[in-house]
Amino acid sequence: MIDFRPILFIIGILLGTLAIGMIVPGLVDLYYGHPDWLVFSAASAVSLFIGGALVMMNRTDTLRMTSRQAFILTTASWLVLTAVSALPFAFSNLNMSYTDAFFEAMSGISTTGSTVMVGLDTAPPGILLWRALLQWLGGIGIIVMAIAVMPMLRVGGMQLFRMENSDKSDKAFPRATQIAMGIFTLYVVFTIIWSFLLWWAGMSGFDAIAHAMTTIATGGFSTRDASIGYYDNPLIDVIITLGMTTGALPFLLYLQSLRGQPFVLFRDSQVRWFVTIALTIILSVALWHSEVNDVSFLTALRFASFNIISVMTGTGYATTDYGLWGAFAVAVFFFVMFIGGCAGSTTCGVKIFRLQVLYEIAKIQLNHMLRPHGVFIAYYNRKPLTEDVTESVLSFFFLFVFCFVVLAAALGAMGLDFITAISSAGTAIANVGPGLGPIVGPSGNFATLPDGAKWMMAIGMLIGRLEVFTVLILLSPQFWRD
């Protein structure tokens, strides 16, 4: 019998934290004289009441959890927090249905960045800040999950990082709580730095704070309908590109750099792969865009750099409609959305380390074909890969593709055209944001999709954000048997 008390206790704490977070946009609306401050106050009270009740009713002497409890907690907490986070959207003056509100909340807390909202330029400031705050909280939640939870659950090869950080000498700090506090502090510092830089580059103070939060979280929610293209400012483009790249690298390595290992980022193979892949794709697209569309190379490089990094890291900002660049660019952007960033970052997608493991597996297979009696060992970061890790990565990749195909087919069955269905499925599973085509592309949004498609995409966002296994394992009858 599974003991649900520790699960409900932690969910209660998270709801209490969410209630505190709701106060911030409420105060902003109150300052600007917008009546939605009452909505945030009521939603905060509901969240605090439910959270407080769960904490008081499920107190336990110890908080030790089994892997089954951890699987349930991870998925349940994301669903409950999304359901409550949707309340301010549903009861605000925007007149959103709960379906739209849930979609927006899931897109925010999963740092996907897909939106059903129109008229962002004139939207209430509290709602705009709430969207940014959801992505900011989701971003730090993902980092903590990737470091503390996923390696323990052995999800999709993440146990690899438990092996890497098992020795005290390899840890940035000796205790897990210190690691979490160090990462949170660094997360806040990065947000402050990018807020100042964006304000200095020409954004208003409010826009700078909101965009800094969603940049470091690689979320992509903007305060403008035209996203970053609204500003048409090369300096802002560069600052946000650097911010998205910062959010896409392992935060634990930042801590190690500050603790006396300044070159640890450059020595990490995952970081080197990320930079190499990004630069190769950016230069290829920039050269093609410059030649085919008769654009100066520097202009092509500016737009290619920003938008490739945005899609690759799953941020989802846009400065132009790259869907109009031509067939080659559309194909590249479609496949780039699945890559993602590094493990231990705020990004999503397949992630670089899994591509490295797949590459090593393929290399071993080719070597075996050439030398059948040879002995070959796959390595990651100069350490041999165990069979457990390679099997986990292969299983993750299969299920990731399987979920993408099923979701794309389901969206197609609901009447969406091929480009809209397949790119919507991809952007949901990979937590990217914009899709492709005139409806859900960089210049559109998801408001016109049927409600069923929005619920399907919300499920896809959850599956992609929680690394597939964490959600799908709950569907197995064997999981619930004693």
Region of poorest pLDDT, from 89-103, 141-155, 260-274, 466-480: 141-155
Q: What is the helix, strand, coil percentage profile of the chain, to 5? A: 70, 0, 30
Percent of the chain whose predicted confidence (pLDDT) is above 70: 96
Per the annotation, does 149 bind a ligand? no
Mean pLDDT across 400-420: 95
Per the annotation, does 223 bind a ligand? no
With contact defined as beta carbons under 8 Å apart, do 351 and 342 qualify?
A: yes
Query: Average pLDDT, whole number, for the chain?
Result: 90
User: What is the H or E stretch that residue 273 is in?
Assistant: helix 269-292
Query: What does the block give as tokens for 383?
Result: 């350490």
Question: What is the distance between the alpha carbons of residues 220 and 461, in angstroms, rounded to a whole number?
Answer: 14
Sequence spans of domains, the chain? 269-331, 352-480
Residue in 132, 100, 107 with CA at minimum distance from that of residue 28? 132
* pLDDT at residue 336 greater than cutoff 70: yes
The three-state DSSP-derived secondary structure of 109-151 is HCCCCCCCCCCHHHCCHHHHHHHHHHHHHHHHHHHHHHHHHHH
* pLDDT at residue 416 greater than cutoff 80: yes
Query: b or e along 271-284 (b: 16 or more beta carbons within 10 Å of the residue's beta carbon)?
Result: bebbbebbeebbee
Tens-digit pLDDT profile for residues 34-64: 999 999 999 999 999 999 999 999 887 666 7
267 to 15, 243, 247, 264, 272: CA distances (angstroms): 39, 21, 18, 5, 8
Query: Higher pLDDT residue, 223 or 383?
Result: 223
Question: What is the distance between the alpha carbons of residues 207 and 212, in angstroms, rounded to a whole number?
Answer: 8
What number of other Cβ atoms are within 10 A of residue 361's Cβ?
A: 16
**pLDDT tier at 163, thresholds 50, 70, 90:** very low
Question: What is the distance between the alpha carbons of residues 141 and 364, in angstroms, rounded to a whole number?
Answer: 36
**pLDDT tier at 368, thresholds 50, 70, 90:** confident
Residue in 115, 70, 155, 153 with CA at minimum distance from that of residue 351? 155
Segment of 149-163, 188-202, 461-475 carrying the highest mean pLDDT: 188-202
Per the annotation, does 233 bind a ligand? no
**pLDDT tier at 107, thresholds 50, 70, 90:** very high
What is the model's pTM? 0.93
Alpha carbons within 13 A on the beta-carbon side of 400: 24
Q: Please tell me the predicted confidence (pLDDT) of residue 175.
A: 60
Question: What is the distance between the alpha carbons of residues 425 and 417, in angstroms, rounded to a whole number?
Answer: 12
Mean pLDDT across 61-74: 82
Q: Please tell me the predicted confidence (pLDDT) of residue 260.
A: 78
With contact defined as beta carbons under 8 Å apart, do 133 and 24 qualify?
A: yes
Mean pLDDT across 346-369: 91
* pLDDT at residue 131 greater than cutoff 70: yes
Strand partners, 384: 379
* pLDDT at residue 171 greater than cutoff 50: no
Per the annotation, does 432 bind a ligand? yes
Query: Higher pLDDT residue, 370 or 103?
Result: 103
Region of poorest pLDDT, from 3-7, 167-171, 261-265, 409-413: 167-171
Question: What is the distance between the alpha carbons of residues 217 and 211, in angstroms, rounded to a whole number?
Answer: 10
Residue in 413, 424, 420, 406 with CA at minimum distance from that of residue 468? 406
* pLDDT at residue 20 greater than cutoff 60: yes
439 to 109, 418, 419, 472: CA distances (angstroms): 23, 12, 9, 30
Region of poorest pLDDT, from 100-114, 162-176, 210-224: 162-176
Q: Please tell me the predicted confidence (pLDDT) of residue 166.
A: 39
Mean pLDDT across 11-15: 93
Question: What is the distance between the alpha carbons of residues 45 and 268, in angstroms, rounded to a whole number?
Answer: 45
Per the annotation, does 448 bind a ligand? no
Residue 40 CB partners (closer than 8 Å, separation 6+): 22, 23, 25, 26, 29, 88, 126, 130
Per the annotation, does 74 bind a ligand? no
With contact defined as beta carbons under 8 Å apart, do 303 and 309 qualify?
A: no
